[in-house]
Structure 1
Amino acid sequence: MKPPLEGVRVVEFGHYIAAPAATQMLSDLGAEVIKIEPPSGDQARGIGAYGEGIVLAYNRGKRSIVLDLKQAGDRETALGLIAEADVVVQNLRADALARLGLGPEELRAANPRLVHVSVRGFSSRGPSAQRAGLDIAAQAESGLMSVNGELGGDPLRVGFPIADVAASYAVVQVVLAALLRRERTGEGGVAEVSLLDAAIHLQSAMWGEWHASGQEPRRKGNGQATVAPAADLVRTADGTIVLSAYTAEHFARLCRLIDRTWMLDDPRFADNPARVANREALLAEISQALGGLRTEECLAMLAGHGIVAAEVRTYQDVTEAADVRASGVLTTGVGPDGDRFTVPSLPFTLDGVTVEADRAVPRAGAHSDAPGWHTA
């Protein structure tokens, strides 16, 4: 199958996650991605295992070229690459490229069909336009940390850079939309994605709930605030499951299944408001009924009766899960030294095919001296 973006050239000025993750997805879809790195390399290359994980995850199959953009000759080289490119994606410090004469206006003047996307911490239209903005700032100022954590506990960051990743998906969306528009009109375009806006957009349902309830959303731990049991943890004999059975039909089904039909007549559990108010007692009964069973037994019993339940897995557990193995979402990448590592592929199939991710991660500047790299 011909890759959807075959023939599309992308030039990346990126470091860490948001821009490299976006161009990785474009590369997986068939685009040629040229990653322009400074002499010191992508900043993620020098920060230990955390940075190594970022480099491995988001730089497979790219062509790395080292350029010192403060030097006129290297700027001309970059301009030559961009003149032949379809897309530029960058997430350097706000206006860093513009100060070097490589801003979107200059680049599109030389290449009107260019699609230019900047990723920033904060919108260029607001007072924080020049602030440094990492994922944690977006999590904090988007309201996300205010709703994440245990009831009565401190605000809590999500356990991975969710705003960076969300921004990368937004970049891919706007690139594909702009390329489609260019097919129809012949014109490129300039787009901007901010980590703050991406983190806010992730919470669209919460904004709807805020409007509908008239109340400020609050931290609530695993259980949902207005229905129960919903997203609640239950210990089993050998692990932990999460389950939801909060509609009248599903709660009745659960009560019959765990031999607690008397709960249907108990006013403490009569409806969702009552069950939320008495969540501790509710979960005690469910845990007593299920706690002696193995996780596999619990899931088979609950799923067999149409009740949503799932095992809480470690990463190692995930690699061994039958559904994950069957889908092929975890595949094998190749590091700069030839070492192989587990990496997620794109989370969809196209014509029944999962995109492979086994192309190598380049060292910084691996293609700087390759013959013909500037025209291939």
Structure 2
Amino acid sequence: MSQPLHGYRVVDFTHVLSGPIATHFLRLLGAEVIKIESAAGDTMRNYGGVQYADGMGPSFASVNAGKKSIVLDLKQQDDVAVAHRLIKDADVVMENFRPGVMDRLGLGYEACKAINPGIVFCSISGYGQHGAARHQPAIDQIIQSTSGMMSLSGEPGSAPTRVGFPAVDTYSGLLAAFAVVSALLQRTRDKQGQRVDVAMFDAALVMMISMVGPYLLTGKRPVKQGNRGYSMSPTADTFPTAAGHLTLGAVRQDQFERLCRVIGRTDLVGDPRFRDRASRFGHGDALQAEVRAALAHRTAAEWEALLNAEGVPAGAVRELPEALAQPHLDERGLLLALGAPDGPGLRILNAGFRYEHDGPGVDAVPPALGQHTAEILAQLGYTPEQITAFLDRRNRPA
């Protein structure tokens, strides 16, 4: 098997979410990811009320499968020396500390570049490595606030509303992985390393390009849309049914006409208020009332099947367990089943895209804290006696 990043090594100094998501995608593409952890481990190992296994909170397990864990105390020079030896033969260094922390540890970009001129060094931070705001602390919800994202979520007139998952962390990690792979491709041509600077704030604005772009071009302030689709069509919204809610995406004229036929209201097509797109916009509340009344006679699941069969975009609103139970996920290979020698089997999400061959995936469980310390030290040329002494120092009471 030869995945795209097979043979590449990533030295991973990241913790919690955005950074581990980035290195997770690099691992899914075949890179060897060596996760540097303190004696306390990545904070995310203890996130969540239910542990998949000891020191393996579900959030940690979801984005660290197949990585190797080594425990280093980066305030100790001997341990920094280990990190230097790892970096010497690596392709990528990934970190998401506050700006300046890696420099103080002797592991900043210039130090890594001196060790390995071809290194791709990627930093993820709240506001980037440059600019007046670079030292401001940030987490996902803060960036959702400062970027304008929370002002766009919710119903018109509602208070600012957080997107219901760490959207900024997730997208920042994906953007970082994309930037790193692009830098590696660039390196094959110019034979030079690269510094990659990913700011969560920047990433949030890029993620909102469908709103930011029009504002930059027109100066028109965006408003909350609730569940109304980007097209703002009255028939691109979420409606109650006899059981459950249904989201419609009838945007084009032909889709509107098919919608009316399926719900038994062909008379709406000839109604002057709804004759064309402009008319429907002008009488949106009236049209939605008619559609809502018609949809009340069947369940969301029934309408979904009937409408999709006629080419009308429609989807029943599902809870997460229902969404994950759909056969489509297995057919797409989106769920990976990983064996666990000392616990229950683990399922994680794959990368979300498929290749014809040698595509993304991983078959190893997430690492226990420091699981690969001895193995990695041996690969770096440390003697058995040196490794034993190193591990003894780790296990010695403070």
Residue 32 of structure 1 is matched in structure 2 by 32
Residue 42 of structure 1 is matched in structure 2 by 42
Compute the displacement of 1:62 (Å).
Answer: 0.7
Q: Distance in 2 between matches of 1:69 and 1:336?
A: 31
| SS of the residue 2:187 aligns to | helix
* Change over 3 Å in CA distance of 1:92–1:211 after alignment to 2: closer
Residue 247 of structure 2 is matched in structure 1 by 242
Deviation string, structure 1 residues 261-290 (Cα, Å, up to 9, x no partner): 332343443444543454343222212222
Deviation string, structure 1 residues 301-360 (Cα, Å, up to 9, x no partner): 211221111121122212221222211202223568433232111111111566334311
Residue 368 of structure 1 is matched in structure 2 by 373
Does the 8 Å contact 1:234/1:291 carry over to 2? no
Alignment counterpart, residue 321 of structure 2, candidates 293, 316, 319 = 316
Residue 55 of structure 1 is matched in structure 2 by 60
Residue 346 of structure 1 is matched in structure 2 by 351
* Change over 3 Å in CA distance of 1:250–1:178 after alignment to 2: same
Does the 8 Å contact 2:154/2:224 carry over to 1? yes
Q: Does residue 14 of the first structure (1) align with residue 14 of the second (2)?
A: yes
Q: Distance in 1 between matches of 2:214 and 2:194?
A: 35
Deviation string, structure 1 residues 107-135 (Cα, Å, up to 9, x no partner): 10111011100001002222110111111
Deviation string, structure 1 residues 143-182 (Cα, Å, up to 9, x no partner): 1111111111011111111111111111111111111111
Q: Distance in 2 between matches of 1:190 and 1:55?
A: 27
Q: Distance in 1 between matches of 2:339 and 2:142?
A: 32
> Greater CA deviation, 83-92 or 288-297?
288-297
Deviation string, structure 1 residues 47-73 (Cα, Å, up to 9, x no partner): 334882221111111110111101111
* Change over 3 Å in CA distance of 1:347–1:33 after alignment to 2: same
Compute the displacement of 1:209 (Å).
Answer: 2.6
TM-score by length of structure 1 reads 0.93
* Change over 3 Å in CA distance of 1:241–1:148 after alignment to 2: same
Q: Does residue 359 of the first structure (1) align with residue 364 of the second (2)?
A: yes
- What amino acid does structure 2 have at the position aligned with 1:172? A
Does the 8 Å contact 2:69/2:368 carry over to 1? yes
Residue 143 of structure 1 is matched in structure 2 by 148
Residue 96 of structure 1 is matched in structure 2 by 101
Alignment counterpart, residue 204 of structure 1, candidates 206, 209, 226 = 209
| 1:216-231 → structure 2 map (5 Å cutoff) | 216-224=221-229, 227-231=232-236
Deviation string, structure 1 residues 28-83 (Cα, Å, up to 9, x no partner): 11111100011111121233348822211111111101111011111111111111
In the alignment, structure 2 segments of 5+ residues that lack a partner are 51-55, 382-398
Aligned residues: 376
In the alignment, structure 1 segments of 5+ residues that lack a partner are none
Does the 8 Å contact 2:228/2:236 carry over to 1? yes
Does the 8 Å contact 1:27/1:62 carry over to 2? yes
* Change over 3 Å in CA distance of 1:349–1:308 after alignment to 2: same
- What amino acid does structure 2 have at the position aligned with 1:40? A
* Change over 3 Å in CA distance of 1:317–1:354 after alignment to 2: farther
Q: Distance in 1 between matches of 2:110 and 2:358?
A: 39
Does the 8 Å contact 2:2/2:358 carry over to 1? no
Q: Does residue 170 of the first structure (1) align with residue 156 of the second (2)?
A: no
Query: Could you say what the CA RMSD is over the residues aligned between the two structures, in angstroms?
Result: 2.2
* Change over 3 Å in CA distance of 1:374–1:156 after alignment to 2: farther
Q: Distance in 1 between matches of 2:378 and 2:252?
A: 60
Q: Does residue 304 of the first structure (1) align with residue 309 of the second (2)?
A: yes
Alignment counterpart, residue 266 of structure 2, candidates 261, 268, 276 = 261
- What amino acid does structure 2 have at the position aligned with 1:207? V
Q: Distance in 2 between matches of 1:199 and 1:45?
A: 26
* Change over 3 Å in CA distance of 1:302–1:212 after alignment to 2: farther
| SS of the residue 1:350 aligns to | coil
Q: Distance in 2 between matches of 1:129 and 1:149?
A: 29
> Greater CA deviation, 322-331 or 148-157?
322-331
Compute the displacement of 1:84 (Å).
Answer: 1.1
TM-score by length of structure 2 reads 0.88
Compute the displacement of 1:93 (Å).
Answer: 2.3
Compute the displacement of 1:364 (Å).
Answer: 1.4
| 1:277-288 → structure 2 map (5 Å cutoff) | 277-288=282-293
Does the 8 Å contact 1:226/1:272 carry over to 2? no
Q: Distance in 2 between matches of 1:248 and 1:229?
A: 12
Residue 386 of structure 2 is matched in structure 1 by none
* Change over 3 Å in CA distance of 1:214–1:56 after alignment to 2: same
Q: Does residue 123 of the first structure (1) align with residue 131 of the second (2)?
A: no
- What amino acid does structure 1 have at the position aligned with 2:198? V
- What amino acid does structure 2 have at the position aligned with 1:154? A
- What amino acid does structure 1 have at the position aligned with 2:319? T
Residue 395 of structure 2 is matched in structure 1 by none
Residue 67 of structure 1 is matched in structure 2 by 72
* Change over 3 Å in CA distance of 1:330–1:202 after alignment to 2: same
- What amino acid does structure 1 have at the position aligned with 2:6? E
Compute the displacement of 1:258 (Å).
Answer: 2.0
